[in-house]
Amino acid sequence: MKAAKVIMLLLSLYYSCAMPILTGAGLISNRVSYGSRLAETGAFFIFAAVLMSLGAVLCLFRKKLANIISAFLSVGGLVLCMIMLKRLTDHADASGWTDKFTLEPISAMYESRLLPCIAPVVIAVVIAAVRIFSRDD
């Protein structure tokens, strides 16, 4: 269980926290050229990162209530992140955003950076579920 927690925390720091926050910060800092809708999307990415990170931290505790809250925050943050990812990739594809060197769609880059946040959320929910349904408390 300790190894799962360490792996989950490390993955959460990078994928569930850093990637959505950096994506959101980039969208917000370029709001003049991207528009208010993408700046709003950026704010939601940051909020999703906070939810997923709080969920990861709360699943470390033995209390059932903390683990129940952890599961809801983790899943809620992931759902919000995926909705914002869909919004962002749809906008990028509709606008024809591509990498200037490889000509790969920018939406693929966003997906490759944000889809891995599913893994730490799944691990956090599994840890929380084990804690919730265990007889130890």
| Euclidean distance between CA atoms 24 and 43, whole angstroms | 6
Residue 137: predicted pLDDT:
52
Per residue in 63-121, pLDDT (tens digit) is 999 999 999 999 999 999 999 999 999 999 999 999 989 999 999 999 999 999 999 99
Per residue in 26-51, pLDDT (tens digit) is 999 999 999 999 999 999 999 999 99
Rounded to the nearest angstrom, the gap between the alpha carbon of residue 78 and the centroid of all alpha carbons in its chain is 5
pLDDT at 136 over 90: no
pLDDT at 58 over 70: yes
Task: Return the percent helix, strand and coil in the chain, to nearest 5.
Answer: 85, 0, 15
Cα distances from 71 to residues 34, 43, 52, 55, 129, in angstroms, run 34, 22, 9, 6, 8
Residue 71: predicted pLDDT:
97
Give kind and range of the element (H or E) at residue 127: helix 118-133
Q: Give the residue-averaged pLDDT of 7-36.
A: 95
Q: Burial, 73: exposed, middle or buried (Cβ in 10 Å; 0-12, 13-18, 19+)?
A: buried
Phi then psi dihedrals of residue 105, to 5 deg: -60, 140
Q: Determine contact, residues 67/59, Cβ cutoff 8 Å.
A: yes
Residue 72: predicted pLDDT:
98
pLDDT at 135 over 70: yes
16-20, 42-46, 52-56, 100-104: segment of lowest average pLDDT: 100-104
